[in-house]
């Protein structure tokens, strides 16, 4: 099966583990610098790949600032505008610090694409309280926005075509830390039933 996949798609590594680590470390510094310190910050990873990335930013801030920053996770499934357009979606756990009113929330996700996930995430955060500000950190910005949304902290800007798939892998769930871009032949992709969801 693996061979079959390789015949249709080619993976190209965009960031390896070291490059990923450095990008996350830089973003952590930028977040603290632009917010004049870690006070009032709340990191919120978006399910699922944003969660380990938020934890890494959190660990970096703790190690170089010596101050703890609350770190949570948010599942935006029930806020999606395409909730009922594919298969039945699993809802993941949301764990936010109890009070985010007046907090400076930093949303963390792996890939910024159309911006629709971030729209949903902002609506969800609003339901928890009136944050003082909401910022966005993403490991990869691949373009093709469909909404007026931009990232405040970007690990890597990556021009892509819509036929390409950007995959962020993290060691916790995928066995390795890397970002790959995969070129797919659209017809073949559809044939595989992939162009749904």
**3-state DSSP call for residue 3?**
helix
Spatial contact of 54 and 71, defined as CB atoms under 8 Å apart: yes
∠ CA 74-24-66, nearest 5°, is: 85
CA 120 vs. chain centroid, Å, equals 13
Q: Which is nearer to another protein, 13 or 192 (CB)?
A: 192
Name the minimum Å distance from CB 50 to another protein.
Answer: 9
What mask of x and - would describe binding to another protein in positions 76 to 115, judged by CB under 8 A? --xx--xxxxxxxxxxxxx--------------xxxxxx-
- Tell whether residue 129 is a contact of another protein (CB under 8 A): yes
Q: Between residue 27 and residue 46, which ones bind another protein under the rule CB under 8 A?
A: none
Check residue 160 for interaction with another protein (CB under 8 A). Answer: yes
Here the tokens at position 101 are 């009113």
Which phi-psi region, left, alpha or beta, contains residue 115 (left: φ > 0; alpha: ψ -120 to 50)? left
Q: What residue ranges bind another protein (CB under 8 A)? A: 1, 4, 49, 75, 78-79, 82-94, 109-114, 116-117, 123-124, 127-129, 142, 144, 160, 162, 164-168, 182, 189, 192-197
């Amino acid at each position: 099966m693996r061979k079959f996949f390789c015949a249709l798609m080619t993976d190209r590594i965009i960031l390896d583990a070291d490059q990923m680590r450095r990008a996350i470390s830089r973003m952590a510094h930028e977040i603290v610098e632009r917010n004049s310190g870690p006070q009032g910050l709340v990191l919120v990873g978006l399910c699922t790949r944003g969660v380990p990335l938020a934890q890494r930013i959190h660990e970096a801030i703790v190690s170089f600032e010596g101050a703890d920053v609350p770190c949570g996770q948010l599942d935006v499934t029930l806020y999606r505008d395409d909730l009922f357009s594919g298969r039945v979606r699993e809802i993941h756990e949301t764990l936010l610090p109890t009070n985010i009113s007046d907090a400076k929330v930093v949303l963390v996700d792996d890939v910024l694409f159309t911006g629709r996930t971030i729209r949903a995430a902002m609506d969800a955060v609003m339901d928890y309280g009136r944050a003082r500000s909401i910022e966005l950190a993403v490991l990869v910005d691949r373009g093709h926005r469909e909404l007026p949304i931009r990232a405040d902290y970007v690990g890597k800007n990556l021009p892509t075509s819509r036929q390409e798939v950007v995959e962020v892998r993290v060691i916790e769930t995928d066995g390795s830390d890397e970002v790959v871009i995969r070129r797919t032949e659209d017809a073949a992709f559809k044939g595989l039933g992939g162009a749904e969801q």
